A = this chain, B = another copy of it.
């Protein structure tokens, strides 16, 4: 396979994966493009490579910066803004985990806590089932939360290395 075809496949695959995980397809594609680009790119170049509009390119790049996955670069003597992606995949994975934890897990944990306060008749099966389910999900969510927090602090080798050792 040639590089041009490989690039295309990579961008497509990353976009698809992103959309399956609740990340907008274009955002994932722009990220993919920057990931495999040795140089920082301008909005114009992103627009041309992916055939997307100026507005879309601008919004997407801004979202990627919000996620901490892309940064601006200013070249001296140039007016244009250049964008480049963090290339270390472990840093990327942590950044994504951090953002999703903040946006999704944290609010759910909050609601689960509120739901632990629900009062009712201990003889009522509906109440009992509700209580048990909420308690179980709470426990799991807290375990996931703790694991994520550790991951956010950890180095890749340590994290997978240690887990791997236990796994065999």
Q: Which residues of A pack against B, CB within 8 Å?
A: 1-3, 5-7, 9-10, 13, 17, 19-22, 35-39, 87-90, 93, 103-104, 107-108, 111-112, 114-115, 117-120, 124-130, 132-134, 136-137, 139-140, 143, 146-147, 150, 156, 160, 162-164, 166-167
Min CB gap A106→B, angstroms: 11
List of B residues within 8 angstroms of A166 by Cβ: 162-163, 166
CB<8 Å pairs between A and B, sample of 15: A1-B119, A3-B130, A6-B115, A7-B130, A10-B134, A13-B108, A35-B133, A36-B126, A36-B129, A38-B126, A89-B137, A143-B160, A143-B164, A147-B167, A163-B166
